[in-house]
Amino acid sequence: MFKVLIFPLLIGVVSCVSGDSGLATTIPSPAAINSEEPYLLTTPQGNTYLSWIERNDTLGILRYAQYRNGQWTKPVSITNGSNWFINWADYPMMAVNKTDMIAHTLTKSGQDTYAYDISLFHSEDGKDWRSAGLLNEDGLQAEHGFVTMLPYKDGFLLSWLDGRNTVSMMDSILTDHAHHKAMTLRAAILTSSGKKMEEWELDNRVCDCCQTSGALTANGPVIVYRNRSEKEVRDISIVRYESGTWTKPSVIFNDLWLISGCPVNGPRADAKENVLAVAWFTAAKGNASVKVAFSKNSGKSFTPPVIISDASPLGRVDVLLIDQRSALVSWMEGSEIRVMKVTVEGISGTSVFVAQSSGARASGFPQMTRYKDRVLFAWTDEEQKKVQLAALDMNDLM
Amino acid sequence: MKYLIVFIAVITFFSCNGSRQSVEETQSVDASELSSMQLLNIDGSLINWQEVKGKAVFLNFWATWCGPCVKEMPYIEAAARALKEENIVFLLATEESTEKIKSFEQKFGYQLDLVRQKTSLASLDITAIPTTYIYNTKGKRVFAETSARKWDTDENIKLLKELMKKP
The answer to the question of residue B3 being in a domain is no
- Chain A contact for B26 (CB, 8 A cutoff): no
pLDDT tier for residue B165 given thresholds of 50, 70 and 90: confident
The DSSP line for A107-141 is: EE-SSSTT-EEEEEEEESSSSSEEEEEES--S--S
CA atoms within 13 A on the CB side of A229: 15
The answer to the question of residue B112 being in a domain is yes
- Across residues B103-127, what is the average pLDDT? 90
Nearest to A311 among B20, B104, B129 (CB): B20
The answer to the question of residue B77 being in a domain is yes
The fold of the A207-356 domain, in CATH, is Neuraminidase (2.120.10)
**CA of A144: how far to CAs of A139, A263, A357, B82, in Å?**
11, 18, 28, 38
Q: Do B13 and A170 touch (CB under 8 A)?
A: no
The answer to the question of residue B9 being in a domain is no
Structural domain that includes position B51: 21-165
pLDDT given at position A363: 84
Query: Which of residues 217 through 246 in chain A touch B, CB cutoff 8 A?
Result: 232
pLDDT given at position B31: 64
pLDDT given at position B29: 58
Nearest to A173 among B8, B63, B70 (CB): B70
Q: Residues B67, A178: contact at Cβ < 8 Å?
A: yes
The answer to the question of residue B12 being in a domain is no
CATH of the domain at B154: 3.40.30.10
pLDDT tens digits, one per residue of A105-146: 999 999 877 799 999 999 999 999 999 999 999 999 999 999
Low-confidence ranges of chain A (pLDDT < 50): 1-21, 169, 171-172, 174-180
The answer to the question of residue B16 being in a domain is no
Q: Do B5 and A265 touch (CB under 8 A)?
A: no
Query: Which of residues 140 through 159 in chain B touch A, CB cutoff 8 A?
Result: 146-148
Nearest 5°: CA angle at B157, between B151 and B160?
A: 95
- Chain B contact for A6 (CB, 8 A cutoff): yes
Contacts of B121 in chain A (CB under 8 A): 359-361
The answer to the question of residue B5 being in a domain is no
pLDDT given at position A78: 98
The structural domain count of chain B equals: 1
What whole-number distance in Å separates Cα of residue B80 and Cα of residue B86? 9
Chain A: residue whose CA lies nearest to B118: A360
- In sequence order, what are the beta bridge partners of B116? B40, B94
Q: Where in chain A are the domains? A: 207-356
Contacts of B104 in chain A (CB under 8 A): 113
pLDDT tens digits, one per residue of B65-105: 888 899 999 999 999 999 999 999 999 999 888 998 999 99
